[in-house]
Amino acid sequence: MKISVVRNVLEANERIARENKRLFDQKNLLVINLMSGPGAGKTSLLERTISALKEKVRIGVIEGDIQTSKDAERIALLGVPVVQINTDGACHLDGNMIRETLPHLDLDSLELLIVENVGNLVCPAEFNVGEDYKVMLLSVTEGEDKPEKYPLMFMESKVLLINKIDLLPYLDVAVSKIKEAAKRVNPDLTIYEISCKTDEGLTDWYNWIFEKVREKRYKGS
Amino acid sequence: MKISVVRNVLEANERIARENKRLFDQKNLLVINLMSGPGAGKTSLLERTISALKEKVRIGVIEGDIQTSKDAERIALLGVPVVQINTDGACHLDGNMIRETLPHLDLDSLELLIVENVGNLVCPAEFNVGEDYKVMLLSVTEGEDKPEKYPLMFMESKVLLINKIDLLPYLDVAVSKIKEAAKRVNPDLTIYEISCKTDEGLTDWYNWIFEKVREKRYKGS
């Protein structure tokens, strides 16, 4: 019985996510669903990315948190449109939550919408929201075994950003092992090693976004 | 409709958790439900704790992971009884999963059972498993804002272990701010600052366990 309930929830979500996707496609709007465990650095990555790209790409953000609007406040300081979703206990965003926020954003004025999911390495990967790509962040401090232990998010993601590499000298962690484990789970994963503190590796990530925004713009012309 | 489904699941779990608790109480067995986000160091803490206490306290472990038996293999090396639960996608342990593993443990031979939950800062806090205490771990690398953003686990826990303090010199994080935020959410929280790498702070944690094992033993005499 429990399984059938979950299936109904997932099916209903899929339907709404597809409707969102159709709307985003009509508007040639690239949508990224950004996921990670808590404290891996999603909001810091967003701050860096927006600062680097906002003159070239028109960016909007949806912030998902269980409580507080702290992340949205950080993003608003950068002068881009942002909407905060409070899930009120729920451990992930879903298609319906995204649909509810859309009236608060002027989608026609945007080229890129980044959805920052709730910090959770498990549940967000099960729920599409209508995104073009899922992108995940993993901090090197989380250890080498995460791709094997939490495979779904690695399987669902197009890009893995391995963050906080500035801390590697102080950890018993080898990035090569994280990458090998991630590639075993998802051989097609694009992987960038980054530090939002030192900016190392971020240019490749910016170029990836820029290319995808261009692709989506071109699709509609 | 979605809400009522969730409520039924939680109510059913509460019933089973209470049955588990009754069994543990009959056997004067102290049960700790150990929770954290992914990669905060639960298994490392368990290794340290078992090595330090196993001559004085008879310890058993239940390992919860979505996939793999890696954590159980690490614990088995220490020569204590351990059972691995694979949740097969589920983001937390529940009362029924624990009940199913109990035939695989000789409860009469144990004084302390530690349940290592799935690495997730959200969902595990919603599901009692029959424990005496919930204990949570937070790595300093996860940042200062976690108690405010993920309050339920901090509210439900008796002890907060702030781990990886050896990394503080390399982070823009103040432990005092984490502690203040945690105390705002749960003023009764007992907090220890620890490093499983340098062993700093662990003696206070061991003493806490030792005292609780003694209390539970005394209750039954």
The CATH code belonging to domain A2-220 is: 3.40.50.300
Strand intervals (E) in B37-187? 59-65, 82-86, 112-116, 133-139, 159-163
> Closest-CA residue in chain A for B4?
A5
Task: Write out chain B residues lying below 8 Å of A65, CB-based.
Answer: 149
- Cβ-based contacts of B120 with chain A (< 8 Å): 91, 120-123
Give the pLDDT band of residue A221 (cuts 50, 70, 90): low
Please give the pLDDT value at position A2. Answer: 41
- From CA B118, how far away is CA B43, in angstroms rounded? 11
A-B C-beta contacts closer than 8 Å: 109
* CA B147 – CA A29 distance, rounded (Å): 35
Q: Which residue of B has its CA nearest to A126?
A: B89
Residue A7 pLDDT class (50, 70, 90 cuts): low
Categorize the per-residue pLDDT at A137 as very low, low, confident or very high, splitting at 50, 70 and 90.
very high
CB burial string A164-198: b at 16+ within 10 A, e below: bbbbbebbebeeeebbebbeebbeebebbbbbbbe
Q: Give the mutation candidate from B6, B120, B162 for the A interface (greatest A CB count, under 10 A).
A: B120
| ipTM given for this complex | 0.87
pLDDT: which is higher, A2 or A71:
A71
Please identify among residues 129-168 of chain B the ones whose CB lies closer than 8 Å to any CB of chain A.
Answer: 139, 141-143, 145-146, 148-152, 164, 166-167
Strands of the sheet containing B82-86, edge to edge, are B82-86, B59-65, B112-116, B30-36, B133-139, B159-163, B190-193
Using a CB-CB cut-off of 8 Å, the residues of chain B touching A121 are 37-38, 119-120
CA–CA distance, A191 with A175 (Å, rounded to integer):
11
pLDDT tens for chain B, 221 residues long, are 344 455 678 888 999 999 999 999 999 999 999 999 999 999 999 999 999 999 999 999 999 999 999 999 999 999 999 999 999 889 999 999 999 999 999 999 999 999 999 999 999 999 999 999 999 999 999 999 999 999 999 999 999 999 999 999 999 999 999 999 999 999 999 999 999 999 999 999 999 999 999 999 988 65
Q: Which residues pair with A193 in a beta bridge?
A: A162
| Site from B91, B118, B140 to mutate, A interface, most A CB atoms within 10 angstroms | B91
State whether residue A60 is helix, strand or coil. strand
Dist CA B197 CA B63 (whole Å): 21
Domain B2-219 in this protein, CATH class = alpha beta
Of residues B39, B89, B197, nearest to A142 (C-beta): B39
Chain B contact for A28 (CB, 8 A cutoff): no
* pLDDT for residue B1: 36
In chain B, residues with a C-beta closer than 8 Å to the C-beta of A136 are none
Tell which wins on pLDDT, A149 or A8.
A149
Distance CA B184, CA B177 (A): 11
A195-217 pLDDT per residue, tens: 999 999 999 999 999 999 999 99
Give burial (CB, 10 Å; 0-12/13-18/19+) of A22.
exposed
Which pLDDT does position A218 carry in this prediction? 87
Contact A213, A111 (CB under 8 A): yes
Answer whether A4 touches B (CB < 8 Å).
no
Residue A54 CB: number of other CB atoms within 10 A?
14
CB of A87 closer than 8 Å to CB of A93: yes
Give the separation between CA A36 and CA A31, rounded to whole angstroms: 17
A125: pLDDT strictly greater than 90: yes
- The reply to whether A122 touches chain B by the CB within 8 Å rule is yes
Q: What is the pLDDT, as a whole number, of residue B6?
A: 58
CB-CB under 8 Å, B65 with A145: no
Nearest CA in chain A to B164: A141
Closest Cα in chain B, distance from residue A36 (Å): 10
CB of B120 closer than 8 Å to CB of B92: yes
How high is the pLDDT of residue B220? 60
pLDDT at position A22: 98
